[in-house]
Amino acid sequence: MNQISEHFSAELTGSLFAIGSRRSFAGGEHVFFEGDQATFLPIILAGKIKMVRHPEPGKEIIIGMFQAGEIFAIPPAMDGKRFPATAVAIENSSLLMVPRNEFLALMESSSEFSSLVLNRMCGILRDRAVTVQIMASPSAEQRIATVLLRLTGEINGNETKKITHRRQDIAEMAGLSLETTIRTIRKLADKGFLKIIGGRIFVETAEHLRTLVR
């Protein structure tokens, strides 16, 4: 239970494990497909999951990435309709699948759980707004800058943020090819907007990146 106990109280954690079933997924394995009926609420116990859409054959766009302790796919689990995107394990992952009827009942009986779900819903809405902004950006630099700002979050003082996501992940979040993404990241590094050390991306300040998306 300790995978999510740091995010939820001991009582809520116990309730979730009592009503949910645990499932493991290998990296690259699908958790569910776009169009599947939403009969459960997924909670990540360990690993990472991405939500993707395929606007055209061979092209994948990441619309959300989630890690241990996070709940995702909340709207379809609430209304019982179909999943609007496909969920794929980025790495070996463990999920707790909470049946929809049990999920709704716990929402009514637990103020902690209902508050947590509503807060997460707000986060999902903000993420979707950023995704729309990314796709509407006309240039590769603007798209990559918006993705990096999304991944770094707030940067305080002399803090330096390390981007742990792969170039492929960034490309799929930006709706760009891998080649264009690699070229654009190098260009931003040459301009001093970020640093590349040992193949990893480091962002020391968000101000330079924000000038590209204003």
Domain limit, last residue, from 80, 108, 135 = 135
Do 157 and 183 fall into the same domain?
A: yes
Give residue 145's domain range. Answer: 138-213
* Number of domains the chain is built from: 2
Give the tokens for residue 154: 């707030």
User: pTM of this prediction?
Assistant: 0.73
Do 146 and 86 fall into the same domain?
A: no
> Which tens digit of pLDDT belongs to each residue from 58-117?
778 888 889 999 999 999 999 999 999 999 999 999 999 999 999 999 999 999 999 999
Do 148 and 43 fall into the same domain?
A: no
Output the CA torsion 199→62→37→18 (10° steps).
Answer: 40
Do 65 and 121 fall into the same domain?
A: yes
Domain limit, last residue, from 98, 117, 135 = 135
Distances (CA, A) of 52 to 34, 60, 156, 162: 9, 6, 31, 24
Pairwise CA distance, residues 34 & 71, whole Å: 17
pLDDT band at 207 (very low <50, low <70, confident <90, very high): confident
Domain limit, last residue, from 101, 135, 169 = 135
Q: What angle do CA 47, 100, 105 make, to 5 degrees?
A: 115
Which region holds residue 80: left if phi is over 0, alpha if psi is between -120 and 50, else beta? Answer: left
> Which tens digit of pLDDT belongs to each residue from 143-202?
999 999 888 876 666 678 899 888 999 998 898 999 999 999 999 999 999 999 999 999
CATH number where 40 lies: 2.60.120.10
